[in-house]
Structure 1
Amino acid sequence: MSFLTLRKVSYSYPNGFEAVQDVSLDVQLGEAVAIIGQNGAGKTTTVKLMNGLLRPTKGEILVEGKSIQSLTTAQISKRVGYVFQNPDDQIFQDSIEKEISFGPKNQKLEDSVVKERVSSAATLCNLKEVLSEHPYNLPYSKRKFITIAAIIAMDPEVIILDEPTAGQDRESTVLLGKIIKSLTQKNKIVITITHDMEFVVNEFSRVFVFADKQLRKEGTPREIFWDEKLLSFSALKQPYICQLANALGIQNILTMEELGRKLLE
């Protein structure tokens, strides 16, 4: 049985605009999945429905087989954590340590557990040496890791990352990959919205493609990025390595190593 399930979920805003139509999907514990699509495709609305920040106007969302409809947003957030695209929408404490510890303290955990959670999350997100700093002493790109650590410290089973690679350099993108791997090894679900197709290829085994308010296809990166009709319909581009392979008349390539082997043949 999947841990997180959406069954024919739709959402309309109060003004009547329908942002998501009949989305059904399942995610298992220990999975890292990517959600891709152009702006307005329904990606962010869908993940906010998972977290309880929005409530479906149709359909049902299940966590561990149970509907979350009757739960408060606070209750849902203990199991499904959401990291905002803009860290400044989330940060409100005057030190990084306070920011990361706020969630565990709010969960009424013992001080020793809070301390361990903060230390573990800060270490994973490369923040251990700056815990006493004010969050705004760090650049925008590094503040994203503060918000990621704050959600990790709450220990939800599902962690949603909204555009985590936006504005990040290569070193930070590599760190994000390490964080995702660490979380899935601990049997967490990581759901990531991203426009970074290279990041999708490198870090995710399953991809959900959204277009025109609906989930159009799910599959492996290879299945997604070599489906030219899907990419055209969804206004998505292949990763650069796929574009290069295409230009050389080579199909079904995802990595530089694969391309090298094909060229040698």
Structure 2
Amino acid sequence: MDAYISIKNVSHTYKNGVTAIKDINLEIYEGEVVAILGSNGSGKTTLVKHFNGLLKPTKGTIEVGGLNTKKEKISTLSSLVGYVFQNPNHQTFLSTVEQELSYGCKNLNMEEDEIEERVDKAIELFELHDRLEDNPFDLNSSQRKEVAMASIMAVSPKVIVLDEPTTGQDHKGCKRVLHLVQMFKDLGHTVVLITHDMNLIGELNCRTVVMNQSEIIADDKADQVFSDKGIMEEAGLQPPQITTFASKISTLNQEQTYLTIDSILKEIAVNQKEDVKIGTGS
């Protein structure tokens, strides 16, 4: 199977001479959820901004859906890769939620019937029926971020990029983001997450790409990455708190990486059953 996003020997140097990414090779496939982790300045945001043409490679090539990003307009690439910014204020600017939902489709010159169908689907998925006449700037941060996601969903790109989706969210908001990521995947989208939220990645246990000093230093499932102390230390990252907590519980299998409370409770339940069998001699 061919990769939907193919990155070959890509480097990017800004006009001030700073090389933000260097010699990156990466393939992302349809239907994947991929988290890109790294400390500030590691290059993760620079890398992802190449996916929809916001940045062009200084060296190397990136293909999205078979298109060379160097040769395509941002408008063309944006129909394939939707980018939800960390700060929703950077992409919401119209006076009503309904206008925001239809803006991207209109910008791509879709037919009115198709726009209406797509917007109606986004309204249903995000349960925005009662907010259509609201000004996005009258909504709280979580609600504005959902409007930004919904406007991207209306365009229905193959790839959805979420830049720090849980920043500023309370526990309920973080659970909502987890639900939305799973919903995007179930609807057939590829999801790329730029995040520092280790708990979110732990819940997803998705493919995890770690960047450090402009290069990729790890690419594996989250449980494998988080169990590699050398990689985590090199990247300046900490595993989810629950993983650290589990490492202190002597009755748990320390060869296993626990990413969620549920995984710990499941292991404890298994151990209790084994203890009962031994106690009864069965």
Q: TM-score range by the shorter chain?
A: over 0.9
Q: Which amino acid aligns with 2:174?
A: T
Q: Provide the residue aligned with 1:175 in structure 2.
A: 176
Q: Which amino acid aligns with 1:170?
A: H
Q: Which amino acid aligns with 1:231?
A: M
DSSP-derived class of the 1:50 partner: coil
Confirm whether residue 47 of structure 1 aligns to residue 48 of structure 2. Answer: yes
With structure 1 as the length reference, what TM-score do the two structures score? 0.95
- Aligned-partner Cα distance in 2 for 1:159–1:260: 33
- Asked if structure 1 preserves the Cα contact closer than 8 Å seen for 2:65 and 2:80, the reply is no
Q: Where in structure 2 are the equivalents of 1:191-202 lying within 5 Å?
A: 191-202=192-203
Cα 1:103–1:162 shift into 2, 3 Å: same
- Aligned-partner Cα distance in 1 for 2:134–2:49: 30
Q: Provide the residue aligned with 1:233 in structure 2.
A: 234
Confirm whether residue 255 of structure 1 aligns to residue 260 of structure 2. Answer: yes
Of 94-103 and 251-260, deviating more is 251-260
- Aligned-partner Cα distance in 1 for 2:175–2:264: 22
- Aligned-partner Cα distance in 2 for 1:68–1:48: 11
- Aligned-partner Cα distance in 2 for 1:121–1:163: 21
Q: Which amino acid aligns with 1:226?
A: S
Q: Provide the residue aligned with 1:91 in structure 2.
A: 92
In structure 2, runs of 5+ residues without a counterpart are 272-282
Q: Which amino acid aligns with 2:240?
A: P
TM-fit CA distance, 1:247: 2.3
- Asked if structure 2 preserves the Cα contact closer than 8 Å seen for 1:119 and 1:128, the reply is no
- Asked if structure 2 preserves the Cα contact closer than 8 Å seen for 1:125 and 1:175, the reply is no
Of 187-196 and 177-186, deviating more is 177-186
- Asked if structure 2 preserves the Cα contact closer than 8 Å seen for 1:42 and 1:210, the reply is yes
Q: Where in structure 2 are the equivalents of 1:125-204 lying within 5 Å?
A: 125-204=126-205
- Aligned-partner Cα distance in 1 for 2:196–2:3: 26
- Aligned-partner Cα distance in 2 for 1:244–1:6: 37
- Aligned-partner Cα distance in 2 for 1:244–1:222: 15
Percent of residue pairs bearing the same amino acid type: 35
- Aligned-partner Cα distance in 2 for 1:155–1:80: 9
Q: Which runs of at least 4 in structure 1 moved beyond 6 Å after TM superposition? A: none
Deviations 1:193-241 (CA, angstroms, capped at 9, x unpaired) = 1111110111242111111111111110110110000000000001011
TM-fit CA distance, 1:172: 2.1
Q: Provide the residue aligned with 2:207 in structure 1.
A: 206
Say what the alpha-carbon RMSD is for the aligned residues: 1.5
- Aligned-partner Cα distance in 2 for 1:257–1:190: 24
TM-fit CA distance, 1:262: 4.3
Confirm whether residue 113 of structure 1 aligns to residue 118 of structure 2. Answer: no
Q: Which amino acid aligns with 1:139?
A: N
- Aligned-partner Cα distance in 1 for 2:185–2:29: 10
Greater C-alpha Rg = 2
- Aligned-partner Cα distance in 2 for 1:68–1:87: 25
With structure 2 as the length reference, what TM-score do the two structures score? 0.89
- Asked if structure 2 preserves the Cα contact closer than 8 Å seen for 1:159 and 1:188, the reply is yes
DSSP-derived class of the 1:82 partner: strand
Q: Provide the residue aligned with 2:279 in structure 1.
A: none
- Aligned-partner Cα distance in 2 for 1:139–1:170: 15
DSSP-derived class of the 1:153 partner: helix
- Aligned-partner Cα distance in 2 for 1:260–1:110: 52
DSSP-derived class of the 1:8 partner: strand
- Aligned-partner Cα distance in 2 for 1:46–1:215: 10
Confirm whether residue 9 of structure 1 aligns to residue 10 of structure 2. Answer: yes
TM-fit CA distance, 1:263: 4.5
- Asked if structure 1 preserves the Cα contact closer than 8 Å seen for 2:52 and 2:69, the reply is no
- Aligned-partner Cα distance in 1 for 2:143–2:13: 34
- Aligned-partner Cα distance in 2 for 1:239–1:41: 20
TM-fit CA distance, 1:66: 3.3
Deviations 1:120-142 (CA, angstroms, capped at 9, x unpaired) = 11232332220110001101221
- Aligned-partner Cα distance in 1 for 2:49–2:183: 24
TM-fit CA distance, 1:77: 0.8
